[in-house]
Each structure stands twice: as C-alpha cells, then as structure tokens.
Structure 1
Amino acid sequence: MLKLLPALLLLTLSHNAYAEARALRFSINDSWAMPMVRIEDGKAVEGILVDLHQRLAAKVGRKAEMVVMPRMRVQHALDTGEIDVRCYVSPNWVNSGHHRYIWSLPFMTQRDVLAGVTPEKLEPEQLLNERLGTVLGFTYPRLEPLFASGQLQREDARTQDQVLLKLSAHRYQYAISNELSLHWFNRQQPAERKLHIINEIASDPIACIVRDAPDVPTMALLRAMVQMKQAGEFDELLARYR
C-alpha cells in the first residue's frame, strides 16, 4: 500500500491542477455584429465567435471567458497579458508581429464589400462626393486615398449593424460591410428592402493570435485548430450562420 501512495498523490495533484486550470480569456470586439457575435448587457451571448471560443477551450480542457472590449484596446490587452486569445484577426490588420504571441492557421476569409440600396455594379473609385457608411475605428486601405482626397466622406457608426441599419433607412446610399454581416442582415429584411453587394473591396485571411506564455496551452490550441480545419469543423460552424 505504501508503494501506491506516491502514485496516488501524483494523480490527485494532477487532477486538482486540471480542475483548477483557469478559463481561457478570449477577446470580443464590441463593434462586431451578428453573425460574428451578439452582445447583450456587455456579454457575448451567441454567434460564430462564441461557438468557436467555447469549442477551442473545450478541446484543451478549459472553459472560455469572453472579454468584451473596444477594438482599440484589443491588441494592447493581448500584448500585456489581459487576454489569452484574439480570434477573427488578419495579419493584414496588424502592423507587426510580437514575440509574445503566435498566429494560428487561417480558418476563413473575410470579404469586405461595397453595399448599396439598389442593385448596380460600380467601383468605389467611381463614386464622387458620396457619404459612405463605415464602422468607427475600422480602416479600409483601398478607400483611404478617396477619404484623404475628399472624394468620399466617412460616416461612422459604432457597430457594423448600425451601419447597415442606416443604409437601409437611406441615411446614405452606400456603405462598407463584411459579407457575412450583410447576408445576416438581409435574412431579416423583406425582399424589397434587402441591401445589395455592389463590389468587393477587400479579401483577408482570418486567423487567431494565441499568447505564448506558460499559463496558456498555446501549442495545444494551435494543434486543435489544425485538427478542426482538417475535420471540416470550421466550415460546419460557419455554415450554421450563413
């Protein structure tokens, strides 16, 4: 019996360490809209990212804590260790890499589109003296020269959903939206009020950034994402919200 005590003690300690492992902290940008996330009373309650975060955390034996914050705070929070994982981000949106975190493989593509109230096909460069619905703090590289020259004027709203609501109400004739949010918005509109894709303005690979620190199962999370990609789990998840 005495010979079994060290093994039993090690098993107990391992079990306690597993049980006491803290939740993984995932950032949620408060300007996102469905189908990415729905936020109620400052909490993320449903959407693609809620499902993704919960699934990723479960695969490494943790719970997911979703921290809602303004977009401008997210990268700083990752750099300073306030959050562990930032998902739905593109290398094209981050100025530089950092030794404190590691990129995952891309799990989807975001397409930003020029949307309008009428079906037509034109390039954004053809617009002149138009107010364009945009999300506060978001940058649109293709359009920045047009904003800088005064050819187009930004009209910012706090969230992507608010941008589309204002477009639907004809507060302006054109707006920028990611394709997923536009399709989700149109699901709730009668045929005569559906918004239209006029042109694609950007296409970016979307991935996660995982903080590389002893208290984060960094490599396990990255491996889990590779396995999810190979098993088609990302496509399955996205299909539920299309």
Structure 2
Amino acid sequence: MVQLEHGRPTQGILYDVMLSLATQVGVAAEFHVLPRARVQSAMEHGEVDVRCYAAQSWLPNQSGDYIWSILLWSQPDLLIRRPAAAPAIIPANLPHQSIGTVLGYSYPTLQPLFDARQLRRDDARNQEQVLEKLHAGRNQYAVSNQWTLDWFNQRLLPKQQLQSVAILQEQKVGCYVRNDPQVPVQRILRTLLQMKMSGEIDDIIRLYIGQP
C-alpha cells in the first residue's frame, strides 16, 4: 500500500495513485504520515484534504463536511494459513486458538468469535507483520486483504506461499475529500473517476501485486 523510508512515503499503490491524482489536478501532493486514530481528527481540523482507501462503514461517527468519491477498490478480507492440503474453512468451526490480526482493525465476521473467546486476537502493528508471523509458524491462521497476500506471496516459492481458506467479508473502498472552498473538490473527484475508468488505477495495482 505504502512504503515508508525515514518516516516518509516513497512508493506503493496509494502513494502512486495520490501522486498521479495531484499531478493531474495540478497541485502539489503533500503526504502526512499519521497513526490511524489521528487521521479523522486531522481531516476535521483541516490538516488533511484527501484520504484514500477508506469506507463509510469504517467511519460511522464521521462528523464534518466531506464528499465521497466513487468506489475505487473492492478488497476481500481473507482467512489464510500456511500451505497445506486443507479444505475450505468455516471460521466458527475452528477450535480455540489465536488468529493473526492488525492492531486497531475491526473484523466484523470474527468479532462474535472473539467476544465468545472461541478465538483470540494476536495483534501486530501492520498487515505485513501479521503475514510474517504466520509464515514463521507463530499462528495457524491469520487475516489479510487480497493485495497484501498477493504481494507477500511474490517473495515465496510456490510451495511456501500462504493460502486463502475463507472469505470473511468484502471491503468496498474509495476516497473522500474535505468540502472546503480552498480545495478543488470537484476536480479531484472527476480526476479519480477518470483514473478508474481509464484503467490507470488498476494498472498501478498490477505493478505491485503482479495479477489482474
């Protein structure tokens, strides 16, 4: 999604999309690296104009005046495991164990199982660390989105690649823009639409995950 070097983004799907967006809109892109919990506050205080890769369902208590783009990406959240001759899994049938998860992420499909203490969260700071722990055998199962799984598997031999055993939910995400007279809101939204319809956004994704 985003690679950071010395605290600044240098490449990744979101970085490339937003850099292209800014160039086509005719403004300079200024990236702010913030903890997830700070992003919404930054939007509300006018510190951030555009946030991408977000879903309205993730922001049920959103305040302020924002305009959402069209849906740009559809991402399945997957239950994954190390390679094995295992059939598809029904999460509710799993025995008591820990599941690799990302700190601060919500997993609606698994939450009832966490609440019942049938499964336990084993949080890591980001999605890559979740997959590294699974690959190292720290957990039997973990949750990952499709892009990160595809990207991670590129570094592994085919027999080592992590595999999906269940689709937990589908995330439909886009961008939203702070509705402010100083922000070229409609130009941003039109450009995102053009980038999606032209295939540019999908081409950027293919650069990183190597799949259609």
The alignment's TM-score, normalised by the length of structure 2, stands at 0.94
SS at match of 1:44: strand
Partner of residue 178 from structure 1, selected from 141, 145, 149: 145
Counterpart of 1:91 in structure 2 is 56
**2:197 matches 1:192:** no
Cα deviation per residue 1:129-174 (whole Å; 9 max; x = unaligned)?
Answer: 1100000000001111100100000000001100000000000110
Cα distance in structure 2, aligned partners of 1:103 and 1:157: 30
Runs ≥4 in structure 1, deviation > 4 angstroms? Answer: none
Counterpart of 1:112 in structure 2 is 77
Q: How does 1:51-130 map to 2 (within 5 A)?
A: 51-119=16-84, 120=86, 121-130=88-97
Cα distance in structure 2, aligned partners of 1:166 and 1:113: 16
Cα distance in structure 1, aligned partners of 2:203 and 2:82: 31
Deviation at 1:98, TM superposition (A): 3.8
- 2:80 touches 2:165 (CA, 8 Å); kept in 1? yes
Deviation at 1:230, TM superposition (A): 2.1
Counterpart of 2:181 in structure 1 is 214
Percent identity between the aligned chains? 43
Cα distance in structure 2, aligned partners of 1:37 and 1:83: 17
- 1:92 touches 1:204 (CA, 8 Å); kept in 2? no
Opposite residue 56 of structure 2, the aligned amino acid is P
Cα distance in structure 1, aligned partners of 2:192 and 2:62: 20
Give the number of equivalent residue pairs: 207
Q: How does 1:225-236 map to 2 (within 5 A)?
A: 225-236=192-203
Partner of residue 156 from structure 1, selected from 123, 132, 145: 123
- 1:228 touches 1:234 (CA, 8 Å); kept in 2? yes
Q: Gaps spanning 5+ residues in structure 1: where?
A: 1-35
Cα distance in structure 1, aligned partners of 2:152 and 2:63: 36
Cα distance in structure 1, aligned partners of 2:6 and 2:169: 32
Partner of residue 204 from structure 1, selected from 171, 177, 197: 171
Cα distance in structure 1, aligned partners of 2:11 and 2:202: 17
Counterpart of 1:48 in structure 2 is 13
The alignment's TM-score, normalised by the length of structure 1, stands at 0.82
Deviation at 1:96, TM superposition (A): 4.0
**2:3 matches 1:38:** yes
* CA RMSD in angstroms, aligned pairs only: 1.2
Q: How does 1:19-34 map to 2 (within 5 A)?
A: none
Higher relative contact order (CA 8 A, sep 6+): 2
Greater Rg by CA: 1
SS at match of 2:129: helix
Deviation at 1:97, TM superposition (A): 4.7
Deviation at 1:100, TM superposition (A): 1.6
